[in-house]
């Protein structure tokens, strides 16, 4: 039993904070008070969650085809190092949305067994993609629906937590175009149906508007990126009918806004993106925090900095931003009964700060203590 006394606590759901103590036993929050360390003047919130990372990717390697040149053991150690760096900044859970060798699943299991220190991981394995399509180098190519089902079944054999499908093209794969849909509607719907039957949710990579339409129609869990790309450019093909379908099927949006979005300052572009998020929120779509960590220059430990940009573009208050990075994110990625809240019975994942992050999100960059599953971690 450990008790952290005299904290100002935000539980992950409420609109207000409370004064009190946090008690932890066997890795979970409990009600039993005990003597403990005094944290008077400090603030505690649930551990942060990043809904879109790639732990196998080195952000300093720009060519995706060179990512696998290192030997397997070196890549696994790099994944461990990235996982530790994430925990040290307050990221206590994350969803990994793709790799080629299931190495991140091995580290997921090491973390779960307590052999490696890192965030709780939810992993997708090899994304389903078209032949020569976005991230085809990870081994998930499928020429038709039957082939896509074969890729899906291969992921289930490796005990993935969810399925990822590249519904549209992307930016880092040569020859792939973000505007283009990679599969027929039937294939996307079949993948979602079979994944749900196997008790796995589906994340869909969608830049182009037609791909977002396919995801919404199929009832996918999360649309990744949701860039509304059309013939006239990024963000310029917003479609209200597609939004209506997303709302009807309870689709979440994982916009992958990272700290590098600070470079986007041109008022016209900023307003286009803000307008799209504004209309989605008004329609009832919820956004969750995500960064696409691992792609060039997007580092796995940068979520605390990225949340400032997320708030700027999505026009979120600190409270709304933090819900999107804790309780809402946990719900979206099937961890809603496990973490994301400071609540008896939930995993003891929380972060302590000297200043109030609900007043200023910059406080997230300066944790004084991180606790993951009851284990204390000194910040970086």
Q: What is the pLDDT of residues 111-127, one digit of tens each?
A: 999 999 999 999 999 99
What pLDDT is recorded for position 68?
81
What pLDDT is recorded for position 12?
98
When mean pLDDT is compared across 28-37, 41-50, 100-109, 299-308, the lowest value belongs to 28-37
Residue 380 confidence (pLDDT) above 70: no
**What does the mean pLDDT of the chain come to?**
97
For 2-45+341-377, which CATH superfamily applies? Urease, subunit C, domain 1 (2.30.40.10)
* Residue 294 CB neighbour total at 10 angstroms: 24
**Distance from the first to the final alpha carbon of the chain:** 25
228 within 8 A of 184, measured Cβ to Cβ: no
112 within 8 A of 159, measured Cβ to Cβ: no
CATH 2.30.40.10 residue ranges for the chain: 2-45+341-377
CATH 3.20.20.140 residue ranges for the chain: 48-332
Note the pTM of the prediction, 2 decimals.
0.98
Q: What is the pLDDT of residues 28-82, one digit of tens each?
A: 999 987 789 999 999 999 999 999 999 999 999 998 888 888 899 999 999 999 9
Contacts of 151 (CB under 8 A, 6+ apart): 126, 128, 140, 141, 142
Computed from CA positions of residues 224, 333, 9, 40, in that sequence, does the dihedral angle turn out positive or negative?
A: negative
Distance CA 301, CA 283 (A): 32
Question: CATH number of the domain at 48-332, please?
Answer: 3.20.20.140
Distance CA 127, CA 115 (A): 27
Q: What is the DSSP string of 313-344?
A: HHT--HHHHHHHTTHHHHHHTT-TTTSSS--T
């Amino acid at each position: 039993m450990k008790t952290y006394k005299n904290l100002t606590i935000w539980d992950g759901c409420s609109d207000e904070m409370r004064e009190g103590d946090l008690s932890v036993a066997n890795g979970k929050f409990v009600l039993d008070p005990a003597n403990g360390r005094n944290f008077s003047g400090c603030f505690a919130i649930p551990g942060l969650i990043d809904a879109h990372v790639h732990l196998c990717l080195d952000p300093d390697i720009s060519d995706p085809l060179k990512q696998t040149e290192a030997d397997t053991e070196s890549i696994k150690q790099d994944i461990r190092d990235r996982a530790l760096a994430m925990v040290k900044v307050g990221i206590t859970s994350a969803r990994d949305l793709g790799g080629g060798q299931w190495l991140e699943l091995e580290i997921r299991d090491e973390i779960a067994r307590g052999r490696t220190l890192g965030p709780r991981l939810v992993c997708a394995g090899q994304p389903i993609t078209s032949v020569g399509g976005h991230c085809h180098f990870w081994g998930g190519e499928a020429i038709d629906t039957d082939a896509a089902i074969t890729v899906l079944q291969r992921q289930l054999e490796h005990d993935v937590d969810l399925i990822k499908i590249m519904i549209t093209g992307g930016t880092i794969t040569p020859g792939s175009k973000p505007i283009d849909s990679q599969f027929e509607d039937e294939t996307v719907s079949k993948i979602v149906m079979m994944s749900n039957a196997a008790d796995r949710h589906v994340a869909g990579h969608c830049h182009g508007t037609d791909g977002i339409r396919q995801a919404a129609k199929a009832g996918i869990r999360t649309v990744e990126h949701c860039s509304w790309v059309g013939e006239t450019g990024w963000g310029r093909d917003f479609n209200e009918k597609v939004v209506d379908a997303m709302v009807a099927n309870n689709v979440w949006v994982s916009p992958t806004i990272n700290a590098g979005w600070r470079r986007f300052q041109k008022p016209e572009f900023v307003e286009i993106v803000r307008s799209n998020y504004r209309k989605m929120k008004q329609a009832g779509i919820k956004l969750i925090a995500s960064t696409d960590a691992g792609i060039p220059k997007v580092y796995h430990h940068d979520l605390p900095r990225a949340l400032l940009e997320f708030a700027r573009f999505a026009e979120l208050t600190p409270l709304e931003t933090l819900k999107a990075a804790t309780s809402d994110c946990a719900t979206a990625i099937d961890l809603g009964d496990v973490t994301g809240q400071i609540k008896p019975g939930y995993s003891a994942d929380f972060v302590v700060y000297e200043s109030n992050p609900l007043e200023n999100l910059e406080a997230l960059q300066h944790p004084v203590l991180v606790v993951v599953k009851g284990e204390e971690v000194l910040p970086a």
